[in-house]
Amino acid sequence: TFIVGENCIKCKHTDCVEVCPVDCFYEGPNFLVIHPDECIDCALCEPECPVDAIYSEDELPEDQQVFLELNAELADVWPNITEMKEAPADAEEWAGVADKLQHLER
Ligand code: SF4
Ligand code: F3S
């Protein structure tokens, strides 16, 4: 599966959802996740993210392993998203900021 990692938090550009052939992105207030049971590993979404927040499971950094569980957990409760929408107005300011997990809204 592919995993949405920390840099999506408060950036949420949503370019990723447009290319997913199986529509397996789910949307929370300031973050998106991929449903691990629905992702077919096509890898199309990874290069679409302007802030490089998407990883294949094998390449997920050590310090982001918690996002494996988070994607699985939140994909079950958040609504599906299939169309791109406008990013938050301050998305650019949050790109690459460290320790954004504390800002995740559920
Ligand atoms: Fe969708 Fe493919 Fe990305 Fe999986 S790897 S979330 S199937 S676009
Ligand atoms: Fe997030 Fe990147 Fe998609 S910021 S919403 S993973 S395009």
Write down the ipTM of this complex: 0.98
Q: What residue ranges do the domains of the chain occupy?
A: 2-84
Fold type of domain 2-84: Alpha-Beta Plaits (3.30.70)
Cβ(54) – ligand 2 distance below 6 Å: yes
Does residue 104 have its Cβ closer than 6 Å to ligand 1?
no
Q: Which atom, in ligand 1's list, is nearest to the CA of 54?
A: 3
Instruction: Read off the pLDDT of residues 68-82 as tens digits, 9 standing for 90 and up.
Output: 999 999 999 999 999
3-state secondary structure string across the chain: CEEECHHHCCCCCCHHHHHCCCCCEEECCCCEEECCCCCCCCCCCHHHCCCCCEEEHHHCCHHHCHHHHHHHHHHCCCCECCCCCCCCCCHHHHCCCCCHHHHCCC
Pick the atom of ligand 2 nearest to 11's CA: 4
> pTM here?
0.98
User: Tens-digit pLDDT profile for the chain (106 aa)?
Assistant: 999 999 999 999 999 999 999 999 999 999 999 999 999 999 999 999 999 999 999 999 999 999 999 999 999 999 999 999 999 999 999 999 999 999 999 9
Ligand nearest to C-alpha 95:
2
